Structure 1
Amino acid sequence: MTSPQAPTPRTSSAERRSSFEHALREAADVAALSPSSHNCQPWGVAWPTSRSARQAAAQLVGEALDGTSSGESGTDESATDEYVILALDRERRLTSLPAHAVEMLISCGAYLQILLRSLALQGWSTDLIRFFDPLSDERTSGIPSAGRPLGDAWPPLWSPLCAVRLRRTDESSGRLAELRDTALARRTNRGPYRSEGLDPSVLAGLCAPSAGAAEGADVTVRHLVTDGERAAFADLVARHGGRDFSHQRAWRETHSFLRRDEAEAAARGDGFALGQLFGPMSGPRRQLLRAALAPTTMRVLRHAGYPRLLARQLALVARPTPAIVAMSLAETAPGLEATVRGGAHLAEYWMRATEAGLALHPVSVVLQHDDVRTELQDRLGLTGRTFFVSRLGRPLTQFPRSPRRVDARGVRVI
């Protein structure tokens, strides 16, 4: 007589979501190490868990537009989908220059890429990404309003950027620790780099196709390695690199992210201390720099040519750098999806560079003013909209890592 087989155990909705919550928290810890302008970390992630929130998220990614939601009727016990919604936190964004609108989306895209990579390494693969059209209207699109995609529980200062559907694959690679180590090692290094050229095969490897949010990103990467190209770039920096210091509103905003010391930066979890900008220094030099960089002091010193002096010093650092990397989006006026995916591509590039022992130092000032960016693109033959320019090389000194917010501040359960 054959004994009846025991029924196959089923994973309950509560068990599945507990597993996903752990994976999401782990992923958010790693993604929090993503680069962002001024280390402002302008991102937020919503995880819908209530029935109504999951139904809204399912509609946002294109599911069940007839009003029913996959996994939320009678089959919730066996559903394997989870959703996250990426948002721009308007409370944390930079606003002093029009170009900051692009920079904020690039920062959010970098965060999304590392978040999705971290989830994939824990067995949650990206199945679908749907970006929001800022001009969409619920009455015509049939989906919840992009302004408050999950209803009244949605944080009022968050602007939704995209919804992601993830599916459990049970193919965890166990390499999350490696990704975390790379993210921890990745940092902006403003010090001198070795002067010897970089292997072309290494540079080519940095541009290999990527998965996740970076998949399909229409980004052109140029490595400026000839003497003529690097000299032209250094000349632009020498002539225009002081623009931010002399722009009162922009410098006031930048200075608001400058913390008194490493302890204050760590406590606040954002911004930067002087050591993270200029490397190790003595106490007296730190006090002198703090006084010289104050907005009131800068307003006086700009009449004495101090911003031009700072620009020439930056150019002297840039000129011997073995490579300058420039990334451009295909369109001169890129949309939201193209820009966020561009940020994802940047994150993938920077992580690969870190793994290869290379460091980056973005020189954003040549992109933050349209006339300077246009001159840069014309002089170096860069097409579309250049959104990232950085020194690239092997550093001679190590710089401290910038602080980060605890992941719980960036993940909202709805």
Structure 2
Amino acid sequence: MDQGNTAFLLIAAALVLLMTPGLAFFYGGLVKAKSVISMMMMSFGAMGLIGVLWVLFGYAIAFPAAEGLSAPWAIDWSALGLQSLLETPEGAAFPPLAFVAFQATFAILTVALISGAIADRAKFGAWMVFAGIWAVVVYFPVASWVFNFGLADDGSFAYGGWITYGLQQAFGVGAIDFAGGTAVHINAGAAALALALVLGKRVGFSKGAHVPHNPPFVLLGAGLLWFGWFGFNAGSELAADGTAALAFVNTIAAPAAALLAWLLVEKIKDGKPTSVGAASGAVAGLVAITPACASLTPVWAIVLGLVAGAVCAVAIDLKFKFGFDDSLDVVGIHLVGGLIGTLYLGIFANGTGLIYSGELTQLAVQAIAAFAVLAYSFGLTFVIGFAIQKIMGFRVRNEDEIAGIDTAVHGEDAYKLELV
């Protein structure tokens, strides 16, 4: 066992887990002062629920070992409760449980990301029911499609999900998604769109009606996300090597460029660059570089960041044009940014992208992977959300939304001023 790589993977897992509290601060600063507890609790609720489900059976669904192409929805019965993973096989690079821990943090974060689309108006109990069902029906299988692959001694695929192993068998190249552009960001973004449509618009929804109550929280959250994202991207190499170093550098370059691009668009559109824009731009760049961090040169990573920052800065206003209330722009940042990063690889991926190979094959498989996950996630999320709304009610009453969802749902206030 390589203790260096084991330590690297465990540290990366801790960094990714930190991203969910970072997300709670990021989202918490963007909402009204009277719904910040509700917003942050949805992230912490995901940490508790998905952490337990992952240990019990989530890993067994996401990583079933099998020869050849694994079924679209399979389970490794021996891995229930992680019983078969307690011992480290001889010659393994790291303990299996280190990888289990690392992937658990991805599952937690992906579920938490969705909550931003339904800020200010969702019941906590209904959210927890949704989070559990969605993880089992959507995230665990999609993670298997993307992340579950085994390599033979010669470096070729021995088994895996259809997005990696299956597309390679069909087209000669598999889809590239190093750290979760499809499984995490497109998946969560599509689910966010579906859930926003199910819950409907907030009271008084219009452009400029809902402003962030605490921009310093937003900046703190973005900083924690960026810090944790180094574990997210570089850690996905599962080894402290040159590929991890490339992913690390690209995780600096792309979000830095995206931050600048977002601020420039804001200046042109609105006349003033904002702190929230800087934070949002950095996150958009982080989203876009996630699938591509190990497959681009740093210069192409900067170009990707510039494109993602500018496009996402414009995309967040589409909700006003099309009339859906994605409260905290999960669609505009994660779905759009995830699509940009995933499709960009079809042109600029080292070796296989169009500019290197002269062929569109990589772009084709990237598009198949991206839009298949989008359709699967959107369709099932809409059904799950609609059923919960009809059976137990997903949205709070308008009176509670206006009075303050923190008090109505949690019996707490984020800020209590006392006169002495």
Structure 1 length normalisation: TM-score?
0.26
Structure 2 length normalisation: TM-score?
0.26
Structure number with the higher helix fraction is 2
Structure number with the higher strand fraction is 1
Highest Rg: 1 or 2? Answer: 1
